[in-house]
Each structure stands twice: as C-alpha cells, then as structure tokens.
Structure 1
Amino acid sequence: MEYHISTGILTCVIIFYVPFETKASESLVVTGTGHPVFAYVEGEVVLNCSVDSSTQSLEEVTWKRKDNEIPVLLYEEGKVRSDSSHDRYRGRAEFAKENSKSDFSLRLKDLRTVDKGEYICVVHSGQLSANTTVTLLGLGFSSTQTLVLVLCSVSLVLSLGSAALYYKNRGGCYVKMI
C-alpha cells in the first residue's frame, strides 16, 4: 500500500502484486531417417527414432510394423519390455543405444526378407503423442552371398556340361525299335 500526500489531500493507492506462473508449452518431436533404408539378408539395420521432448520423462516408446500393427519392441516406464515383442522379432530387436533419453533407434538383427516394410516409432509423454515412420525398402544380398550364388551357378553349369559330354562320348548306348 502506498500513500501520497499533496496539498492537503490524502490519496491512497493500493497496488496488488499477484504472483502467477507461466507454464511453457510442452512439446514432443519425434524424427526418423527421412529416407528409405536398405539392408542385406542375414545382416542388421538401424531404424532411427530421435525424441526431443520438453517433458521430463517418456511414458512409452513403441516400435511396430505399420502394415499389420505387429509389436516389434516396447520401452515402458523406464524399462525395455522385450517380452512384448512378436515372436518374429523376439531376440532380434533391441534399442541401438541402451539407456539413452533421446535416441530410441531400433536395431534389427539377422534380417529376413519378410522384414521389408514400414515401421513406426510411436512416443507417448503425458498428454502428448508423436511418431515417425521408417521404411525398410528392400533386402538384397551381400557381396559374399552374391559370390556364393555365382559360384553355385557356375558349378551347376559345369556339372551339367560334364555330364552331357560323358554321355555323348560314352557311345554304345542304342535303342532298338521293333
């Protein structure tokens, strides 16, 4: 309260100070690779999922197949829940960086041709939810696998050629028609 006296008139000015808190707006941004990913059969691949959040903790991060909602990997209440993974991914899916608060990239090991497709990383934090999609475009053969395939093909051609020469030069095989 303040008092001002001027020319015999008493003026009373009351000023109230009301404290108030401004709450910064919460944000949750999830980003992925931004382009399709290519990998090799029997190899491994990392599908990126980075989280930028103004909230203190993430409640849940879920990786799943976008086409049929198959669960691949789950992070919930500060723990990785590998037991919630579909049988197809159990033992082959893990977070690329353990104990990271912002990187929830998925590492898929021992890749199979059926792994090709779209994967979605869904993040929940309080009332906020965001996601990113990463496409595993195709699974080709590694240079070693290609070399083995070529060598097998050459072997087959040589074996068939040798067999044909053997039967051609063997002679004495006649069929008599009656």
Structure 2
Amino acid sequence: MPRRRYHELAQEGAEFARIGDRILGTTLSVKGAVLIDSDQDEAHQTLPMGLPSPDDQRRVILRELLRRKIAAGFINARDSFEGLKVIFMPGFILVDEDLAARLADFVKDGGLLVATARSATRHRNNRACEFAPPAFLNDVFGVTIEEFGKLEHGSIDLEVGKWTSVESGGAIWCGHHRKPDDSMSYWALLSR
C-alpha cells in the first residue's frame, strides 16, 4: 500500500521528468568550498579534545558563507578544486601527500586555503605524523605548530610584542606557531 513517502517520491520524479532536459548537465557555481570527508568525523571522534566536530564546523562555515551571499557549497576532498577561490578545511585531521599536493597547487594558483584547529595532524590512516603540524601542509601555510592545547574558562596572558590579557567566558584553544626560519613566532587563539 503506497504511503506518504511513496507519493512524495512519485511527485518529485514527475517534476524532474518535466524539467529534466533543462537542468541535465548543469552545475552549481561554487566559488567557496567547504571540504567534506566522512573519515574526518570518525578521526575526530577518536580524540575530540573538546573541539567541535568537523561536521559542526562545516555547518557553521557554510551557513556563514551563504548568509553573506557567497556562492559556496560542500566539496568532497577528492573532487577537483578547479574554479574555486577559497577552500575551508574544517577539522581536517587526516591529510595525505596527494591531498596536500593538490591543496599546495590550489594555493600556488592563487586560491586561499583556511584550516581550523588540529588540521593536518595525522596521516590518512590516523597515525600521528612524524613532523610538526600542519605536517604535509607546512610549506603551504609557512608555519609549524609547536604546541596546542585547551585552556579552560578564565584568562591567559600572552606576549605579543607586549603583554596582552585575553579574557574568555568559554573554553579557549591556543596554538604556538613558528615560521621555519624562526623569523616569526605567534600564538593563535580559537574561542568557542
């Protein structure tokens, strides 16, 4: 006996049959990509460290891009990056040499790459990298992360040219970054 879902699917099929020849072969115009890979969610669950999941981060980033009327969408990490202007890597813990090379080419060709905390800290098989994060992407970002961790509620004092106090009502993630030639060292903060 056909039920509601069957009728909805039949209606949708009929609608696509009417307009199919006009939409067949068309593509979305996406300039801002939010990388998606289900393995990242699984890797995050093995050691979340209090950070929002890659899926949570993806949703927030895409919502903000669309709210700002930027042509954006989810792009599988294995898809082509051709035609994109910016790529967001939310919580992309697992990175292999192939993805790193493709991202490096994207940046060399003028694209902007934005990564969130803990990106590129492990090999594709979820094994810790033998060199400092962002591992395979060190040359792309031009920095290495010396340490990172979670700071609970309260304040912290950082030395950035002079002492600066940072207050937070929520958890803070921080990372100490250093350029390979030691010409610059800085702290990056992410507050929930």
TM-score by length of 1: 0.21
Which structure's residues are more often strand, by fraction? 1
Which structure's residues are more often helix, by fraction? 2
Larger radius of gyration: 1
TM-score by length of 2: 0.20
